Amino acid sequence: MAAPMLRWVGRGRLWTFARVDGGSCHRREAPTGSTSNWIRGQSSVAQQPLCMTQKPRKGEHKWAAVVGLEIHAQISSNSKLFSGSQVRFSAPPNSLVSFFDASLPGTLPVLNRRCVEAAVMTGLALNCHINKKSLFDRKHYFYADLPAGYQITQQRLPIAVNGSLTYGVCAGKKQSQVIPKTVRIKQIQLEQDSGKSLHDDLRSQTLIDLNRAEGQLRVDANISVHHPGEPLGVRTEVKNLNSIRFLAKAIDYEIQRQINELENGGEILNETRSFHYQLGCTMSMRDKEGKQDYRFMPEPNLPPLVLYDATSLPAGADPQQVINIDQIRETLPELPSVTRERLVQQYGMLLEHSFTLLNEVGLLEFFQNVIKETRAEPKKVTSWVLNTFLGYLKQQNLAVSESPVTPSALAELLDLLDSRTISSAAAKQVFEELWKREGKTPGQIVSEKQLELMEDRGALEQLCHSMMEAHPQVVMDLKKGNPRAINKLIGLVRKATQSRADPAMIKEILEKKLSS
């Protein structure tokens, strides 16, 4: 990489990251064979790899893997951690850069209140101990997208420590069984984001964007393997994983690579690696000769960050000047684990269904609105929301908020089904009509298309009779002793009624007629 870099021109600005350090205490026993038989939950695998044992092949030692995650998550705030500049996704490069962000000489960091509140809230949600006093440090290294030559972070005394997160991992043959897991959280720290480097290998140039409002999430994974009962192995760090899928792939690959290396008599170097997402492998970054010494030092321009709670709040303190932990705790929404438990208790749904409801943005609210307005059984609602409704959304790649079907419409439809006004097959048809966004209510669709359940037994008997006469071959088959042939007749009758008749009633009439 060679100069010239993009010089800072005009206005500039920097940016914010909370960092959740997963610590290094999560064990994962790796199989010696292919990694494809790993059982994993969906997103949960990224939080913590599974703990599982596999029978080693004869003559082989078991391996255990230790994985620690450093998760960089962008704080949802209007301005950056230490400057007043805005945060906006996909803003033009270097358009949101303050003088501080560009590290102009003489500029000083000013802590953003919203970021502190977000960090405290995250800490509370993750069951952390909130430090009433935390400190800021400078971490030094030279890099083109780090204009100050150091990053402001919380190395020694971070804002929150010692937390945990409980989550579920899908297991079993159909991945339908949820196993609860707990990951320990070592610390949460407020940290300034570095800029973004764009390498142009062709022109051997690097362009720098100091907006720093790139992706939402970035994870570094520290990975080592060892034999259980023996000291931990040498770890490698896989940097800059920006999706949960790649994180899982990178960890799997790296564990396997380390095992292979060690079993072939090689050794693991304490190094930084990158994940090549096209090849699916990790590679040594080799960009730093020797070990980096970050020369940590207290940030002298930021006084200690002091937080208060109800007991320590000084009398007459200006609410604008202090941050009250208890007050933030009160604004904490119901946490997902509590919501899931409530759903299971209240509606008798399966735990895995509660996970699905919470994993999709807006889906839980949709579900609850339907429940509120319908007389249908919660189980019925769950099934319709998770199967039919979610299925349509996924198929068209829509978010819940973009759905053409409102909770009220679905509630009305389920009421029609519940009152046996329509059959479930007709209900599917109505749903499909609703999806077309023609502005009709389910009731209107049902009456327009004459989808009401056929309750007139005499008419149905007449229809069955004529159907038997029209298909003597099928009747013959039945009489010869092929009981499945009746299904064909049922199907024909249903079709003739446009699915409005109850299949059970059709079957009963047909059986009566055949036996007479």
Between 111 and 358, name the residue whose CB sits nearer to another protein.
Answer: 111
- Residue 99 binds another protein (CB under 8 A): yes
Paired tokens of 5? 């870099």
Among 34, 57, 90, 106, binds another protein (CB under 8 A): 106
Please state, in angstroms and rounded to a whole number, the distance separating the CA atoms of residues 44 and 23: 16
* Sole binder of another protein in the list 293, 330, 334, 469 (CB under 8 A): 293
Residue type, 429: Q
Count of residues engaged in binding another protein, rule: CB under 8 A: 37
Q: Does 302 bind another protein (CB under 8 A)?
A: yes
Q: Is 308 exposed, middle or buried (0-12, 13-18, 19+ CB in 10 A)?
A: middle
303 part of the interface to another protein, by CB under 8 A: yes
Distances (CA, A) of 440 to 364, 400, 405: 25, 20, 11
Q: Of these, 277, 296, 308, 435, which contacts another protein (CB under 8 A)?
A: 296
Judged by beta carbon, residue 293 or residue 330, the one nearer another protein is: 293
| Residue 35 per-residue DSSP state | G
- Ramachandran bin of 333, using left for φ above 0, alpha for ψ from -120 to 50, beta for the remaining angles: beta
Residue 400 per-residue DSSP state:
G
Q: Is the peptide bond before 93 cis (omega within 30 degrees of 0)?
A: no
Closest distance of CB 290 from another protein, Å: 13
Taken in order 459, 465, 466, 467, is the CA torsion positive or negative? Answer: positive
Question: Of the ranges 294-302, 383-391, 436-444, 504-512, which one interacts with another protein (CB under 8 A)?
Answer: 294-302
Sole binder of another protein in the list 107, 240, 242, 339 (CB under 8 A) = 107
Closer to another protein by Cβ: residue 210 or 411: 210
Task: Determine, following the binding rule CB under 8 A, whether residue 207 of this chain makes contact with another protein.
Answer: no
Using the rule CB under 8 A, give the single segment among 52-60, 97-105, 226-234, 442-450 that binds another protein.
97-105
- Give the closest residue to 313 by CA, choosing from 327, 330, 303: 327
Q: Which is nearer to another protein, 5 or 313 (CB)?
A: 5
Q: Should residue 163 be labelled a site residue for another protein when binding is judged by CB under 8 A? A: no
Q: Give the CA radius of gyration of the chain.
A: 31
Q: Which of 208, 323, 409, 417 binds another protein (CB under 8 A)?
A: 208
CA dihedral (114, 117, 119, 121) positive or negative: negative
Tell me which DSSP letter residue 359 carries: H
Instruction: Return the closest-CA partner of residue 312 out of 323, 320, 321, 303.
Output: 323
188 with 120: CB under 8 angstroms? no
Q: Which of 35, 43, 54, 103 binds another protein (CB under 8 A)?
A: 103
Residue 229 sits in the site that holds another protein (CB under 8 A): no
**Of residues 144, 350, 425, 505, which one binds another protein by CB under 8 A?**
144
In contact, 80 and 16? CB cutoff 8 Å: yes
Min dist CB 142 to another protein, Å, is: 6
316 binds another protein per the rule CB under 8 A:
no
Minimal distance, residue 24 CB to another protein, in Å: 19
Instruction: Report if residue 109 touches another protein, rule: CB under 8 A.
Output: yes
Nearest one of 462, 475, 414 to 442, comparing CA atoms: 414
Residues in contact with another protein by CB under 8 A are 1-5, 7-8, 99, 102-111, 138, 140, 142, 144, 147-150, 206, 208, 293, 295-297, 300-303, 321
